């Protein structure tokens, strides 16, 4: 079990965004997290990655308690993520975005960095090679020298994924990775996610789109900050409570 979440709760003043969530994530699985807008999914990610501190609860990653750690510490421990609104480094090129994300493995110390020693240069060459490989994996190699802010939406989202992969995470959190993409891009992204999972990376996906659930091993449904139901993608698709949560009562199960 790579990630264990116990009783995670977050209150913003009077609003409870996340309430008493318990989840266990197994090594190497692809876990889907679905729920209507405002259910608390992005808050959930922000809590895990330390962007906001939880009001209550514990987060245990690979046996270590990471509750309340700062985002960069959590990144160092091996949790990578993308963001819903997909911020990037807009003034860097696509390639520079990925290169900048290689902070952890390998990491040159300040002395080596400043004096441009052979150690530093070897690390940087390795980073360049790895970055190009990642860009190939996500299909952005041809735009590597373009500015990130000039890229179309789909490419920017893929860049977000590329960036998250650069830290060689053991756990990858993807926040709505295919939102706003056209069908080709969706297929490419699903391919990339499958390949990443094959490399042994555990993935938690937040999504609306039912299509992406096909690649999940397990799906958890959240609404109003609480876990409603959990099961295989097939079970979830047919669960009446889930359908009610998404579509309101009075609809049938056929799309």
Partner 1 sequence: MGSMIAARDSSSRRKNYTQIILYGILICFLLFIPLFFQSPYVLHLFILTLVYIIAAASMRFIMTSGQIPLAHAAFLGLGAYVSAVLSKHVGLSPWLSLFIAAFVAMGVGIFISFPFARLKAFYYAMVSLFFGVGLLQAIESLGKLTGGLAGITAIPTLFNTASKVPYYYCFLALTLVSLVILYRFEVSRIGWNLKAIDQSYLVSSSVGISEVKYRVLAVAIGCFFVGLAGGMYANYNVTLSPSSFDSSVTLWMIIYVTIGGMNNFSGPIIGTAVLFLIPQYFSGLKQYAPFISAAILFLVIFMFRNGLVSIPGLLMAFYKRKKSTSKSR
List of residues contacting partner 1 (CB under 8 A) = 49, 51, 70-73, 75-76, 80-81, 83, 87-93, 95-96, 99-104, 108, 110, 113-114, 116, 120-121, 124-125, 127-128, 131, 144-145, 163-164, 166-167
For partner 1, the closer of residues 124 and 191 by Cβ is: 124
Interacting residues of 209 by C-beta distance below 8 A, sequence separation 6+ = 178, 179, 186
Residue 190 burial by CB count (10 A; 0-12/13-18/19+): exposed, middle or buried?
middle
For partner 1, the closer of residues 81 and 227 by Cβ is: 81
For partner 1, the closer of residues 4 and 124 by Cβ is: 124
Least Å from the CB of residue 214 to partner 1: 27
β-partners of residue 10 are 18
3-class DSSP state of 65? strand
> Dihedral sign, CA of 129, 135, 139, 142?
negative
For partner 1, the closer of residues 138 and 164 by Cβ is: 164
Q: Is 161 left (phi over 0), alpha (psi -120 to 50) or beta?
A: alpha
Q: What length does the chain have?
A: 255
β-partners of residue 230 are 220
Least Å from the CB of residue 76 to partner 1: 5
User: Terminal CA-to-CA distance of the chain, rounded, Å?
Assistant: 35
Q: Which value, to the nearest 10 degrees, does the dihedral of the CA atoms of residues 245, 247, 249, 253 take? A: -100
Least Å from the CB of residue 141 to partner 1: 13
For partner 1, the closer of residues 6 and 108 by Cβ is: 108
Token duo for residue 116:
């441009």
Least Å from the CB of residue 101 to partner 1: 4
Least Å from the CB of residue 99 to partner 1: 5
Total Cβ atoms within 10 A of residue 188: 17
For partner 1, the closer of residues 145 and 252 by Cβ is: 145
52 close to 8: Cβ distance less than 8 angstroms:
no
Least Å from the CB of residue 233 to partner 1: 28
């Amino acid at each position: 079990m790579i990630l264990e979440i116990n009783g995670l709760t977050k209150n913003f003043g009077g609003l409870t965004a996340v309430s008493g969530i318990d989840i266990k994530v197994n090594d190497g699985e692809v876990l889907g997290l679905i729920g209507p807008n405002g259910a608390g999914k992005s808050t959930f990610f922000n809590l895990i990655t330390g962007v906001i501190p939880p009001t209550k609860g514990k987060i245990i990653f690979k046996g270590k308690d990471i509750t309340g750690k700062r985002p960069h510490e959590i990144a160092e421990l091996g949790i990578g993520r993308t963001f819903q609104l997909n911020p990037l480094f807009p003034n860097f090129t696509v390639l520079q975005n990925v290169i900048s994300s290689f902070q952890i493995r390998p990491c040159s110390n300040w002395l080596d960095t400043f004096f441009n020693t052979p150690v530093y240069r070897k690390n940087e060459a390795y980073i360049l090679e790895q970055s190009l490989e990642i860009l190939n994996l996500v299909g952005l190699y041809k735009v590597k020298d373009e500015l990130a802010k000039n890229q179309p939406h789909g490419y920017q989202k893929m860049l977000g994924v590329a960036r998250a992969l650069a830290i060689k995470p053991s756990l990858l959190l993807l926040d709505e990775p295919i939102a706003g993409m056209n069908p080709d891009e969706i297929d490419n992204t699903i391919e990339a996610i499958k390949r990443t999972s094959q490399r042994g990376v555990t993935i938690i996906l937040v999504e609306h789109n039912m299509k992406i659930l096909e690649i999940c091993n397990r799906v958890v449904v959240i609404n109003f900050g609480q876990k409603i139901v959990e099961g295989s993608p097939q079970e979830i698709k047919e669960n009446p409570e889930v359908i009610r949560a998404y579509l309101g009562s009075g609809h049938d199960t056929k799309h």
